[in-house]
Amino acid sequence: MQLVLSWPVRLFVVGVLILSLFVDGAGYVYRIANHYPLTGQVPGLPPNFGGWQLYFHKGLDLAGGTHIDYQLTNFPAGQNRADVQQRTIQVINKRVNALNVSEPEIRGAGTNNDRITVDLAGVTADQAQKTIGAVSKLTYTKWVKDDKVQAGPQPGYKPALTGLTGDDISSATATIDQNGTSWVVNVQFTSAGASKFDNLTRDAVAACPGAGQDCPQRHLTIWLDFTQKDIDNWEDPSYVAKLSTRYDPGCLAAQGPDTVCGKFLTDPTTVEEIAGGQAQISGQFTQQSAQDLATGINSGSLPVDLVALDVTQVSATLGAESVKLSIAAGLLGLAIVVLFMIVYYRVPGFLASLALLFYAGAVLAVFKLVPVTLTLAGITGFILSVGMAVDANVLIFERFKEEVRAGRTITAAVDAAVRRAWPAIRDSNTSTIITCVILGFVGPSAVKGFAITLAIGVFASLVSSIIVTHNLLAIVMAGGSFRRAGLLGVDRVRTV
Amino acid sequence: MSELSDVRAEQQAADIEPDGAPQAKVAPDLAPTPRPPRRLNIIGRRNWFFALSLIVIVPGIVSMATRHFALGIDFAGGTELTATFPNHPSLAQVQAAVDAEGVNGSVISTGGDGYIIRYPPLSATQLTNIQADLKNRLGPTNVQQILTVGGTIAGETIALSLLAVVLASVAILLLLAVRFRNVPGGWRAGFQFGGSALAALLHDVFILTGIFSILGAVLHLRIGEIDAFFVSAVLTVVGFSVHDTIVVFDRIRENLRVSQRLSFEQVVNLSIMQTAARSIITSFTVVLVLTAILIAGGSTLQGLALALLIGIVSGTYSSIFNAAPLLVVWRRVQPLR
């Protein structure tokens, strides 16, 4: 126990205290001065270490938003499941970007790489599911003669479905062409896609034979989400004009029955028949636009089917209400415990309350630093740990009374109390931490936040109640003025 | 245990002399009223305390076996829509509107304009249609929360929860066996301590689950519905219930070492009396915090707070009146030394 009372330990405690105060207070002056909201992410919030900001990360049940667990089904045969899962996550990320969500969280889960969880703040379940589940399918069309068509990209012609879609593409990559001068996108078809593409290009070239020739039939146009209904409306010039603008993921995601969105991707000319299942899309690409297109083609269709297992949508008002209620509950709980400790244990109780405040400050700092995403269950775990944090103090103080009664001096009693209470404190807290670890690993996902905050809380409380309270007691008892029975909550005090 | 090696044996022995004065002084911890004329004999009346526990546990088990639980959305699966209607429709009006949708929805009033509407699992499209329909029939709708849980997740949550309880129980049994193998009797004694603590722990789990089964499935109260929060509560009780038990057992270990003259039963009873006050106080601080959550924490957390409250009160009772007496019974059945 000499170690606990040594100066290095005291310096450590003071260091933790200063760091906690710094972390807890970080950003609030800036927020108030600039009229930003007091919680959540704020651009340029100081202290800003390379984009790493200090603020409480609120879970969806507090911030409002949508959480979805997806089950992945129909895995493509012969591919690594982890890769497929990663690709699916990339596709979802790409689609979700259109919603402008701050900090979207899309994570792989499941023992067999067969789950993906999606957390989107400030988005309704409806929007989220439409955006993610939208079948952005790449479609190739050829052009057939129709005299009724007066306008559009190819006057006198309308598109026709070719049966070649994004499902027939196995991969697309952006690269520099053979001459090393411009960016192109290489497309690799599946074997079925390769033969379809071979037939299409042969027909296209046959429509107006000869090298360097160009006619509408030579164009194989690529669209996203293109349907037969779009072709049926081809005689409506305004419809076609809208449809032929560059594809708009945001519009496609929120598409109602009557909205018309841009679906046009690219309109390459067939130069020659292409067999072997490889095609090159050239155009005036920059590196960025070529990569975007490659990603676009790859993300055009998900490699798997998504089935929503559970969907949670929480409104921002309910979240704000929950935050208010849990802060109220936390403060009330803290106040009651402090009051009880001071009334029942007097000076030691007051010191334990100081340690409790230190504890709460340190734990909140850890939440900000890690950062731990705080959910309603997580906050409850923290509040609960406030009640448990004084347990070790109670055990020590009761033992202290006992030692004083047995006739020890104050100093000896404090030392003996801490020493003898320690095994029970250690074992009981170990059991709680073990439970939290088990809950954190095998528990249902909804309760993991609870387990994490409770574990952090129990661990920090151990430090605060053993080290901080003991040091405060030793310091206060070094002066003689508190060695009175009434102040220590004991029957009598041996003064020698 | 180096912590105990320098215990002043003569002083400790004086402390725990069965009829000596020092024990009587322990009582004022519990209540600063006049000293009780003699020590409570908890070990001697152990059958009464076992019976008291059974009076609560048996109806709970009967209820669990026959009526099971009222399952919340997390376990039952389905779609739950929490909303307020600023047009103040009555419960009957809301129920009528939901009935007219023809998808087997049921309505619960949460007070004020707030309602919870439960459906079988709905697809995204169905949900959109139903929200539009509610708007048509009941006017503006403030949707606060929508939960959809499919059967797969519900089944998994149950399986994972059970697994977590079993794993935690085994881990605690082993932890205690390791920690208490240094009492006279070695590993066998260690497992007696661990096993008794485990029994007290299961007692708490059964009390908690039993009472919730009665609240939910027999009395049909919404607070008795079990959900993922309830699982957290059970697991927390599993972890916390042994706190008090360990405090008693730790004292038994200490007293066994310093007093060779007392019988095992006397040592156990003495240890209970010496530690009862602190067991109650440590739980009391947690009870205070839980009461704060129950009062101020809003309806979402009330079920969790109630479950923890039941579990922690039961945990303190069982560590004083069940765990240590059980240890005595076990010693009689399987004597050591």
CA angle A213, A219, A221 (to 5 degrees): 165
Distances (CA, A) of B266 to A143, B194, B195, B330, B337: 98, 20, 20, 15, 17
In single-letter form, the type of residue at position A460 comes to A
**CB-based contact B293 A390, cutoff 8 Å:** no
Q: pLDDT at residue A251 above 80?
A: no
* CATH number 3.30.1330.60 is the correct assignment for the domain at A65-134: no
Ranges in chain A annotated CATH 3.30.70.3220 = 65-134
Ranges in chain A annotated CATH 3.30.1360.200 = 138-298
Nearest of B114, B152, B157 to residue B299 by alpha carbon: B114
In single-letter form, the type of residue at position B4 comes to L
* Per-residue pLDDT at A492: 64
The larger pLDDT score, comparing residue B63 to residue A101, is at: B63
Chain B residues with beta carbon closer than 8 angstroms to that of A333: 288-289, 292-293
**CB-based contact A435 B254, cutoff 8 Å:** no
Question: B145 to chain A nearest CA, in Å?
Answer: 4
**CB-based contact A314 B145, cutoff 8 Å:** yes
Banded pLDDT at B34 (limits 50, 70, 90): very low
Rg value, chain A, Cα: 33
pLDDT digits (tens, 9 = 90+) for A461-490: 888 888 888 888 888 877 766 767 777 777
Distances (CA, A) of A44 to A48, A115, B236: 7, 35, 40
Sheet with A305-314, strands from edge to edge, namely A105-109, A115-121, A65-73, A305-314, B142-149, B78-84, B114-119, B106-111
Show the domains of chain B with their CATH numbers: 24-71+153-333 (1.20.1640.10), 78-149 (3.30.70.3400)
Banded pLDDT at B18 (limits 50, 70, 90): very low
**CB-based contact B150 A444, cutoff 8 Å:** no
DSSP class of residue A152?
S
Chain B residues with beta carbon closer than 8 angstroms to that of A133: 124
H or E stretch covering A312:
strand A305-314
**CB-based contact B143 A321, cutoff 8 Å:** no
Question: A394 to chain B nearest CA, in Å?
Answer: 6
pTM score of the predicted model: 0.75
The larger pLDDT score, comparing residue B305 to residue B36, is at: B305
Average pLDDT across chain A, whole number: 82
Rounded CA separation B27/B203 (Å):
27
Q: What percent of chain A has pLDDT over 90?
A: 8
Residue B221: Cβ within 10 Å count: 14
Q: Are A66 and A312 in contact (CB under 8 A)?
A: yes
DSSP class of residue A212?
T
Residue A404 φ/ψ, nearest 5 degrees: -65, -40
β-pairing, B142-149 with A305-314?
Answer: antiparallel
pLDDT digits (tens, 9 = 90+) for A312-365: 888 888 888 888 888 888 899 999 999 999 999 888 899 999 999 999 999 999
pLDDT digits (tens, 9 = 90+) for B245-277: 999 999 999 999 888 888 899 999 999 999 998
Rounded CA separation A466/B67 (Å):
47
Question: A159 to chain B nearest CA, in Å?
Answer: 31
pLDDT digits (tens, 9 = 90+) for A133-153: 765 567 888 888 888 877 777
**CB-based contact A332 B296, cutoff 8 Å:** yes
Of A388, A419, A438, the CB nearest to B286: A388
Rounded CA separation B283/B243 (Å):
9
* Per-residue pLDDT at A172: 78
**CB-based contact B239 A340, cutoff 8 Å:** no
Rounded CA separation B106/A36 (Å):
42
Place of tokens 């390379």: A50
Nearest of B229, B228, B236, B231 to residue B209 by alpha carbon: B231
Question: A47 to chain B nearest CA, in Å?
Answer: 32
Average pLDDT across chain B, whole number: 83
Chain B residues with beta carbon closer than 8 angstroms to that of A401: 29
Nearest of B257, B151, B29 to residue A401 by alpha carbon: B29
Q: What percent of chain B has pLDDT over 70?
A: 88
Residue B187 in tokens: 């590993």
Of A329, A340, A399, the CB nearest to B285: A340
Rounded CA separation B43/B20 (Å):
19
Topology of domain A7-58+315-488 in CATH is Multidrug efflux transporter AcrB transmembrane fold (1.20.1640)
Question: B189 to chain A nearest CA, in Å?
Answer: 17
Chain A residues with beta carbon closer than 8 angstroms to that of B229: 377, 446-447
Residue A317 in tokens: 């008002």
Q: pLDDT at residue B56 above 90?
A: yes
Give the DSSP per-residue string, A236-281: -HHHHHHHTSBP-HHHHHT--SS-----EEE-PBP-S---SSEEEE
Q: What percent of chain B has pLDDT over 90?
A: 32
* Per-residue pLDDT at B50: 93
DSSP class of residue A219?
B
Average pLDDT on B59-64 reads 93
**CB-based contact B15 A388, cutoff 8 Å:** no
Average pLDDT on A45-56 reads 74
* Per-residue pLDDT at B205: 93
**CB-based contact B240 A432, cutoff 8 Å:** yes
Place of tokens 């069309």: A141
Average pLDDT on A245-269 reads 70
Average pLDDT on B315-321 reads 93
Place of tokens 């989107």: A120
Rounded CA separation A220/A202 (Å):
12
Chain B residues with beta carbon closer than 8 angstroms to that of A450: 232, 236
Rounded CA separation B103/B120 (Å):
8
**CB-based contact B147 A387, cutoff 8 Å:** no
Chain A residues with beta carbon closer than 8 angstroms to that of B171: 434-435, 438
Rounded CA separation B158/B162 (Å):
6
* Per-residue pLDDT at A281: 72
* Per-residue pLDDT at A255: 59
Ranges in chain A annotated CATH 1.20.1640.10 = 7-58+315-488
Q: In three state form, how does the secondary structure of chain B look?
A: CHHHHCCCHHHHHHHCCCCCHHHHCCHHHHCCCCCCCCCCCCCCCHHHHHHHHHHHHHHHHHHHHHCCCCECHHHHCEEEEEEECCCCCCHHHHHHHHHHHCCCCEEEEEECCEEEEEECCCCHHHHHHHHHHHHHHHCCCEEEEEEEECHHHHHHHHHHHHHHHHHHHHHHHHHHHHHCCCCCCHHHHHHHHHHHHHHHHHHHHHHHHHHHHHHHHHCCCHHHCECHHHHHHHHHHHHHHHHHHHHHHHHHHHHHHHCCCCCHHHHHHHHHHHHHHHHHHHHHHHHHHHHHHHHHCCHHHHHHHHHHHHHHHHHHHHHHHHHHHHHHHHHHHCCCC
* Per-residue pLDDT at B9: 41
Q: Which of A167-171, A204-208, A423-427 is the least confident region?
A: A167-171
Rounded CA separation A88/A301 (Å):
9
Banded pLDDT at B325 (limits 50, 70, 90): very high
Kindly identify which residue of chain B lies nearest to residue A400, measuring between CA atoms.
B278
The CATH code that applies to domain A138-298 is 3.30.1360.200
Residue B50 φ/ψ, nearest 5 degrees: -60, -45
Nearest of B284, B273, B206, B207 to residue B243 by alpha carbon: B284
β-pairing, A278-285 with A373-374?
Answer: unpaired
Q: Are B181 and B327 in contact (CB under 8 A)?
A: no
For residue B321, how many C-alpha atoms fall within 13 Å in the half-sphere facing its CB? 20
Of A69, A332, A447, the CB nearest to B232: A447
Rounded CA separation B201/A87 (Å):
46
C-alpha B94 chain-centroid distance: 37
Chain A residues with beta carbon closer than 8 angstroms to that of B172: 431, 434-435
Pairs of residues, one from chain A and one from chain B, whose beta carbons lie less than 8 Å apart:
235
Question: A107 to chain B nearest CA, in Å?
Answer: 17
